[in-house]
Amino acid sequence: MNGLRLSPSDAWRASEHVDADRLLASVDTLASFGARGDGGVDRPALSAVDLDARRHLIDRARALGCTVSTDACANLFFHRAGTENLAPVMTGSHIDTQPTGGKLDGCYGVLAGIECLAALADAGIRTRRPLEVVVWTNEEGTRFTPGAMGSSAFVEPSRLAAYLDATDAAGVTLREALDAQRRAFPDLPLRDHAATPAHAFVELHIEQGPLLENADVPLGVVTGIQGVRWYALHCDGVAAHAGTTPMNVRRDAMTLAIALRAEIDALAHALGGDDTRITFGRWSVSPNAINTIPSAVTFSVDFRHPDAAVLDAFDRQIADCALRRRARVEPLFSHAPVRFDATVLATLDAACAALDARALRLTSGAFHDAMYVARHCPTAMLFVPSRDGISHNPAEFTGPHHLAMGARALAHCVTQLCND
């Protein structure tokens, strides 16, 4: 990664031309697509409001002189040409949200990337390498499971085939949603990934946890991401009358599910100790009637841990648990812990130092598209603080000063990398 080093003034000038007001206004404009009444955002991947938001960002990118392309998984690529036709530096994130999401998760990384494009234009800087801002499809994985679909299919295109029949709650398949995107943007050329691998990828994101705020530090240089496992647990019972069926003859699926949840929770904490993060976030009950004993209950398990051996042990033991209780475990998503690239991390350190901003090195508790892209090219992430560590919640908030500082550090870093 050595090569022509920019005169420090160029990276600095790019960071200096980040316009905080323009960035903050772009956050509110994007949040208007799928706005909730409580200040949050509900913008499912490839939904009508997501397509409207994509159209808005495509228009912004084109107005900044970028060419726009897409791929088979509807990722968007906003390409700013360099002086040489070299492998581009990429930055970006996702714009799909949780159902009760905030304005910043993912969106901030995309908008700060676009702000870098605008800052480079304002500063009259033409970097040696192209810079590409990416919108990765379906990172949250709430409409279509698994998460981070777009980045995973970008890194390994053969994965897409297995995703196409994933269905949302209304029975719409990913295949149909991708067709809707193609119909909405028929003129977007397909990016030739094989011909243009990325030189490096930097993702700017809110921390979504309390560490930076507790340390009173404005920037986090993210050294890696902990591992993740998602499962669906299927529990069967026999539907029967709530009033007439004696307790000792019931086969209540909910009784089984509650006992299984307790056993899995205990297992996770026994294996993972203080680093355990276990969540049982999505439940479905059939027939879901007050006066019928449940015949089927399905619940989700989201397990996170930094240690690959713990994740593998959990895999084995959750399967044993389910077998013993005659339930069915369905693995949904799995990613090992990731370590980011030392050179990109050092470039982020240098950017923070150039801004005279204190930075903390930390591991991400949340997964991100960068976990897949790290297998494609040298990758790292940069965080800004989340107030009260809150995210996946309409109350998600980061102060304007921190949002601007993160974007300035990103501009400094990607400008530097664009001339490696």
Residues that bind ligand HGY (CB under 6 A): 139-140, 147, 366-367
> Is residue 197 within 8 Å of residue 377, measured between CB atoms?
yes
Q: Pick from ligand HGY, Mn ion, none: which does 367 bind, CB < 5 to 8 A by kind?
A: ligand HGY
- Binding partner of residue 10 among ligand HGY, Mn ion, none, CB under 5 to 8 Å per kind? none
Q: State the Cα–Cα distance between residues 144 and 159, nearest whole angstrom.
A: 14
Binding residues: 94, 105, 140, 205, 392
Q: Please state the closest distance from residue 391 (CB atom) to ligand HGY, in A.
A: 7
Q: What's the min distance (Å) between Cβ of 136 and ligand HGY?
A: 11
Considering the complex, state which of residue 46 and residue 271 has its C-beta at the smaller distance from Mn ion. Answer: 46
Residue 290: CB atoms within 10 Å: 5
Closest by CA position to 10, among listed 63, 62, 83, 77: 83
Residue 12 or 397: the one with the smaller Cβ distance to ligand HGY is 397
Q: Does 105 bind Mn ion (CB under 5 A)?
A: yes
> Phi first, then psi: what are they for 309, rounded to 5°?
-65, -35
Query: How many Å apart are CA 304 and CA 314, to the nearest integer?
Result: 10
Nearer to Mn ion, 71 or 396 (CB): 396
Task: Please state the φ and ψ torsions of residue 251, each to the nearest 5 degrees.
Answer: -120, 85
CA distance 368 to 362: 14
Pairwise CA distance, residues 151 & 136, whole Å: 6
Nearest CB to Mn ion, comparing residues 105 and 207: 105
The span from the CA of 379 to the CA of 11, in Å, is: 19
Binding partner at 147 among Mn ion, ligand HGY, none, C-beta below 5 to 8 Å by kind? ligand HGY
116 binds, among ligand HGY, Mn ion, none (CB under 5 to 8 A by kind): none
In whole angstroms, what is the distance from residue 371 CA to residue 258 CA?
A: 33
Contact 341, 241 (CB under 8 A): no
45 or 123: whose CB is closer to Mn ion? 45
DSSP β-bridge partners for residue 339: 224
Q: With respect to Mn ion, which residue has the nearer C-beta, 110 or 418?
A: 110
In the bound complex, what is the minimum distance in angstroms from residue 134's beta carbon to Mn ion? Answer: 13
Chain position whose Cβ is nearest to ligand HGY: 366
Tokens of 407: 């974007």
> Is residue 408 within a helix (H) or strand (E), and if so which, with residue range?
helix 400-417
92 binds Mn ion (CB under 5 A): no
What is the rounded distance in angstroms from the CA atom of residue 284 to the CA atom of residue 67? 44
Residue with smallest beta-carbon separation from Mn ion: 106
Shortest distance in whole angstroms from residue 237 CB to ligand HGY: 30
Query: Which member of 34, 102, 106, 220 binds Mn ion (CB under 5 A)?
Result: 106
Q: How far is the CB of 256 from ligand HGY (least distance, A)?
A: 27
Residue list for the binding site for Zn(2+)? 94, 105, 140, 205, 392
User: At residue 350, what are phi and psi to the nearest 5 degrees?
Assistant: -65, -35
C-beta closer to Mn ion: residue 322 or 366: 366
Cα 18 to Cα 89: distance, rounded to the nearest angstrom: 18
Question: Shortest distance, CB of residue 101 to ligand HGY, whole angstroms?
Answer: 9
Is residue 141 at the binding interface for Mn ion, with CB under 5 A as the rule?
A: no
- Which range, of 99-107, 222-230, 283-291, 395-403, touches Mn ion by CB under 5 A? 99-107
Tokens 């234009």 correspond to what residue? Answer: 121
Interface with Mn ion (CB under 5 A): 105-106
